[in-house]
Every structure is written in structure tokens, then in C-alpha cells.
Amino acid sequence: MKYTYALLFILSIGLFSISCSTNRDVPATKWYRGNTHTHTSALRVHAKTSPKDVTAWYHKRDYNFLILSEHDLFIDPKKVEMPKDKRDDFILIPGIELSEELHGTCMNVLDKVKKISGKGKTNKQIIQSQVDRTLAIGGQFIHNHPNWLSKVKKEDIEGIKNLTLFEHYNGTMSVEQTFGSDEFESTQVIWDYLLGKGDVMYAVAADDAHSHEPGSDAPGRGWVMVNAQKAKELTPKAITDAMLHGEFYASSGVFLDNCDFDNGTYRVVINKEATIKELANLAQVRGKPIKNGKAGFRIEWIEKNGKVFKTTTALSSFLKAKKDQIYIRPRIVYTRKNLTFGWEEYFAWGQPQFMDGRTIKSNHTHGLASKIAHTH
């Protein structure tokens, strides 16, 4: 009899641990860290640091991929001198920054993209043409710093075919671009507007570094973390495809263990230690200044119209999406006291998950990408 009770007890413990280890106990995702936008002295007037030294900077800081995106000047990764101790998990992705009237990173292109004047064209026509020219030579396009010089309005980006990536955060322009000012429409407003209009649009954070000395153009302020399991391998094509499908999150300082959507549930788990360690370098990082704050993390869940519908200060959050929310996306905020000016905030932005059945095809009605089904 005693034996039976003991057996029942063991069985019930077993069942209990099974129920506890449902989706809340997921292992940390393996991520590839990368920067899609940086400048070098290859174009002499533009930046001071050589392609070799810029590459070494990112390699040393455990990035896994980098695009040396010079203005209309193709830097062939094969000709860039790599660090002597180069890790196997580091690659250069070939690309340029197309700098016409408007800018964008042409990702995974093996040549220059033909530059043409947009004179007399609308912003929408210019961006569409940039996307088309990039796809025509096998790459993907990221629309960079939309509100630079207040040039591009949200309506200009709406409905552009084959565009699913845009710079939501740019390390040089920093918080003014993302959160808006009297001059700028914020990229947050632009993003939720596009998502509300039915576009599939994913947010990129990038450095756009021009100088490797501490200052307003320093590197290490904006990056993406690509889901390594979804990308499957670290190659220019695999990383580009994974980003095209939204298999990444963007960051201005916050690291996550998990940020994915599985079986109707969006999972976010913060990596507190990695975040605090990363932000210990004050010369390099730059947060959003706020007047008053409370130290710590919070996870905000956003739905249609950019509405924050749920906030938690826990280090993880699991959310089952409802159909009428149209889309949900998480924004993860870390608040801390800054030594010089009060309080500041750093962010990670998870990509939207759509409840209305929209797919990448809604942006991609022709060309290469139309053949790729959305796999969420």
C-alpha cells in the first residue's frame, strides 16, 4: 500500500513537471547579431575608418554579420582584409547604400545598383524603383532612415511592392527618428500606419556609423538579431531571406533570449544580464532621454493603431493573439539612470505577427520573393 502511494506521488510530480514545462520553459533561441548599415573610408570624404578596421570592430564585439554599405560604392567582401583570428561564425554580407534622393541598403548584391536620378519623380516612385533595381540583381532592399530631412511621409512607403524592411531605428539619427519630434514624424507612427494599411513591414535597427570615435556617429547603437534556427545557416542569402520573412528582432540596447511566435502564442523572454553588460559602455550607447523613470524592464504589447494594450514588468511574457487585434508586436523597454542627464530608455522591437492572414505575398506580387511562402 505504502509503495502504491509512493508511486502515485512520483507520478503526480512527473505530471506536474510536464505541465510546468509547456511552452513557458523554452530554451533560449540562438541568434545571429548583425548590422546592415555602416560607412568606411573607402569613400574618402565620408568616414575615417578603413573597411578592415570597421570589420575588426564588429568582429571583436561578437557580431556575426556586417554590411559595409558605402554610398553607391561596392566594397567586395573578398577584398576586405579579415581579422587574423577570424571566427567561423562571422561573415560580411555584400551590399551598398543606394544614395539617390532617398537612401536604402541593397542587401546581398554582388555589384553596384544602377544609380538613376529621381528628378521629377514622387517619393513613392523613387523607392519603388530602388526596390525593383535591387531585386533585379538578386538582392533585397531596406528603406533607410525614412524621415531624414523630413523627406518621406508614411503615405510614400504605403503599398510599395516587394518592400518588407525599413530602418525603424538609426544609430546616427537615434531617438529623434524613432520617437519623432516637431520636425520628424516618428518611425513608430510610420510603422503602425503601414501595418494598419495591410502592408507586411519589418523593423530594422542599424548603426549607420560614420566614425569609430565616441560621438554622435559611433557604432554599436542599433543592430538586428536573426533567429539562427530559422535562418538555418550563416550565409548572405540565408540571413537576407530570414530577415525578409521577419525572423529577427531589432535592438537599440536590449537583448532577448526568445522572441518568436509559435502555435498562436507570441513569446518574449528578456536576457537581463546581456543587456546590462552591453549598456555598461556609455561612450558607445545612446538611450532615449526621459524626465522621470523607474529602473528596470517592461514588455509592452502593441496592436492595431499602435495601441499598447498590455504591459508587464516581468522578464517574460507569453501572449495568445486574438483575431480582431489584426496584428500584435512587442516592444521591450529597459529604463536606467544615466550618469549625466537623469533617465534614459533602451529598446528591443519584436516583429509583428498578423492575425488577418496577410502574407509576404501582399507586398510581393512579382519578382523573386513572390515564390517564397510566408512560413509563420
Q: Where do contacts with Zn ion occur on this chain (CB under 5 A)?
A: 97, 103, 144, 208
The minimum distance between CB 301 and Zn ion, in angstroms, equals: 32
Say if residues 360 and 374 touch (Cβ distance below 8 Å).
Answer: yes
The residue among 141 and 255 lying less far from Zn ion, judged by its C-beta, is 141
Residue nearest to Zn ion (CB): 103
CB of 33 to Zn ion, least distance (A): 19
In whole angstroms, how far apart are CA 81 and each of 5, 45, 73, 124, 169?
69, 21, 17, 38, 29
Q: Which is nearer to Zn ion, 96 or 319 (CB)?
A: 96
Question: Could you tell me the smallest distance in angstroms from the CB atom of residue 338 to Zn ion?
Answer: 27
**Cβ-based nearer residue to Zn ion, 44 or 294:** 44
Residue 272 exposed, middle or buried by CB count within 10 Å (0-12, 13-18, 19+): middle
Instruction: Identify the sign of the CA torsion 71, 73, 76, 81.
Output: negative
Residues contacting residue 338 through CB under 8 Å, at least 6 positions apart: 282, 287, 289, 344
Closer CB to Zn ion, 174 or 325, in the complex: 174
As measured in angstroms, the least distance from the Cβ of 144 to Zn ion is 5
User: What is residue 91's three-state secondary structure?
Assistant: strand
Of 71 and 124, nearer to Zn ion (C-beta) is 71
Is residue 353 within 8 Å of 327, Cβ to Cβ? yes
Distances (CA, A) of 256 to 7, 152, 246, 260: 40, 31, 16, 10
Task: Name which of 173 and 333 has its Cβ closer to Zn ion.
Answer: 173
Q: Cβ of residue 37: shortest distance to Zn ion, in angstroms?
A: 6
Residue 271 cell numbers, joined: 536576457
Q: What amino acid is encoded at 292 in this protein?
A: N
Of 170 and 227, CB closest to Zn ion: 170
Nearest-approach distance from CB 89 to Zn ion, in angstroms: 26
Separation CA 296–CA 278 (nearest Å): 15
CB 347 to Zn ion: min, Å: 21
User: Could you identify the residue written with the cell 554582388?
Assistant: 110
**CB-count exposure of residue 127 (10 Å: 0-12, 13-18, 19+):** buried
Q: Is 239 exposed, middle or buried (0-12, 13-18, 19+ CB in 10 A)?
A: buried
Closest contact distance (angstroms) between CB of 87 and Zn ion is 26
323 DSSP assignment: G
CB closer to Zn ion, 173 vs 231:
173
Q: Provide, rounded to whole angstroms, the least separation between the CB of residue 147 and Zn ion.
A: 12
Identity of the residue, 103 or 288, whose beta carbon is nearer to Zn ion in the bound complex: 103
Inter-CA distances, 223 with 155, 220, 296, Å: 26, 7, 21
Pairing label, strands 265-270, 307-312: unpaired
